[in-house]
Homo-oligomer: A and B are copies of this chain.
Amino acid sequence: MVTIKDVAREAGVSVATVSRVWNGSAVVSDATRSRVEAVTSRLGYVPNSAARSLITSRTSTIGVLLPDLHGEFFSELIRGIDQSVRRSGFHLLLSSSHSDGAEVDVALRSMRGRVDGLIVMSTHAEARAAMRQLPPAFPVVALNAIVDGATTVLTIQNYEGARAMVRHLIALGHGPIAMIGGPIDNDDAAERRRGFRDALRESGRSHDLAMEVSGVFDEASGYRATTELLRRPTRPRAIFAANDAMAIGAISALHEHGLDVPGDVAVAGFDDIPMARYMSPSLSTVHVNIPALGERAAQRLLEAIEPTDGKALQQPKRPTRREAMKTTLVIRSSCGAAHKTDA
């Protein structure tokens, strides 16, 4: 492995100078700079990141903690994050499948020192506890209601989107409307359920509240939930699933029962995963710009890591305490049919 010493020796300068050239910062004469650069590329020198982060205590890496990796939601999310992150020359350390909160604790601990900041999506109470273990000023962006120790909380307009969609379904016809909710301990799911209930209540149809079942955000559970719904005495006129995956499962079940979608039963979902566009014209969905969610989360995190990029505006004193940075951002959601608009 070729080190900074090799470059220094070969270029006839000190390691300090090579270092200065490499991170462009200091004042180096053009002559030496170009000489060092020549040697650098000739030797194929790449600075050792471990040594670097040992002394700077920065890793140029952000960690992403996800509960799961099933379905298109998460890949779209990661895609957005990846985009922001690489644009800033950072790396992405991914850890997933944190079904229970204890695992989050382990993951969090094992990531310590390997990342400069964290994007966390988890609903578990243990996760919140684990986050409290982090150094007080450690930059964290939470992708749901975990507030403790999070620099920023980024949420989706779950309530608004769900409410709008259910209103839309109500306008569609007269029969009862069912909801396939998400897991009970999931904050997003809870908000969507609240939107559903409120929309019904507002239209004076609280009796429809009875038609609620739940799933776990995947196609299989949407399928099962629908099968269960169809066993009931009254058949729903419309089904609102808490995400698109369950909605697709629902459509599948309805078709198998010889029901027409949306003729007999209308189906609506949430998220607007790319695939949803190709279930048309059967599926309406609440649009969420998932990659944008990821992108904004990453951007926010990077801002927290590097306070003021420091080119133009050099603020003499840091005016904002970390506390003051705590913000809640929102990703807007809008309701409508899925369209193949992307061409």
Interface residues of A, Cβ cutoff 8 Å to B: 1, 44, 46-51, 53-54, 57, 59, 61, 69-72, 74-76, 78-79, 82-83, 86, 89, 91-97, 109-114, 133, 135, 218-220, 223, 245, 248-249, 251-252, 274-275, 277-280, 340, 342-343
Contact = CB atoms under 8 A, between A and B. Distances in A.
Nearest to A53: B50
A122 B292 CA distance: 26
Contacts of A47: 113
Contact of A70 (B133, B274, B277): B274
A245 B133 CA distance: 42
A53 to B, nearest CB: 4
Nearest 5 pairs of A and B residues by beta carbon: A75-B75, A50-B54, A69-B79, A252-B278, A50-B53
Nearest to A280: B252
A82 B97 contact: yes
A45 B101 CA distance: 21
A343 B274 CA distance: 24
Contact of A82 (B48, B95, B245): B95
B46 A113 contact: yes
Contacts of A75: 69-72, 74-75, 78
Contacts of A110: 89, 91
20 contacts: A46-B113, A49-B113, A54-B54, A61-B114, A69-B79, A70-B75, A71-B72, A75-B78, A86-B97, A89-B110, A91-B111, A91-B114, A93-B93, A219-B275, A245-B275, A248-B275, A248-B278, A251-B278, A252-B280, A275-B275
Given A48-B54, A82-B95, 17 more contacts: A44-B133, A46-B112, A48-B113, A49-B112, A50-B54, A70-B274, A78-B78, A82-B96, A82-B97, A91-B110, A91-B114, A92-B94, A219-B277, A219-B278, A245-B275, A252-B279, A252-B280
Contact of A59 (B50, B219, B245): B50
Contacts of A278: 219, 223, 248-249, 251-252
Given A48-B54, A51-B54, A114-B49, A274 B71 contact: yes
A65 to B, nearest CB: 12
B59 A69 contact: no
A265 to B, nearest CB: 16
A96 B92 CA distance: 10
A273 to B, nearest CB: 9
A220 B343 contact: yes
Of A94, A95, A343, which is in contact with the most chain B CB atoms at under 10 Å from its CB?
A94
Contacts of A54: 48, 50-51, 54
Contacts of A219: 274-275, 277-278
A322 B98 CA distance: 35
Contacts of A245: 275
A216 to B, nearest CB: 12
Nearest to A343: B220
A135 B44 CA distance: 11
A327 B76 CA distance: 33
A89 to B, nearest CB: 8
